[in-house]
Amino acid sequence: MELIEEVEKTRRGLYGGVVGYLDFAGNADFAIAIRTALMRNGTAYVQAGGGVVADSNGSYEYNEARNKARAVLNAIAAAETLAAPGANRSGC
């Protein structure tokens, strides 16, 4: 964590953290947040990435991260379309 703090210019926020639940019956399900969107004051802050290892192809990893972010942006655009004034909210 200290190395990340030293080399990255901005804080990760939710990105790279754990999202999940633990219930009273002892059931749990967790995942690492590698695609995130934070909505604040009408602005979406989107982060995406993945794991890079010694034999990773930098160009491939970069394009994969862009595709992951694009999927989040597409989901936001779809949600905005559904929430637009006059949109049919009945599901019909």
**What are the Cα distances from residue 57, in Å, to 24, 33, 49, 85, 86?**
43, 22, 14, 44, 46
Residues 15-69 pLDDT 10s: 888 999 999 999 999 998 889 998 899 898 999 988 889 999 999 999 999 999 9
Residues 75-85 pLDDT 10s: 999 998 888 77
3-class DSSP state of 72: helix
Which stretches does DSSP call E strand in 13-64?
A: 18-22, 28-32, 35-40, 43-48
pTM of the predicted model, to two decimals?
0.66
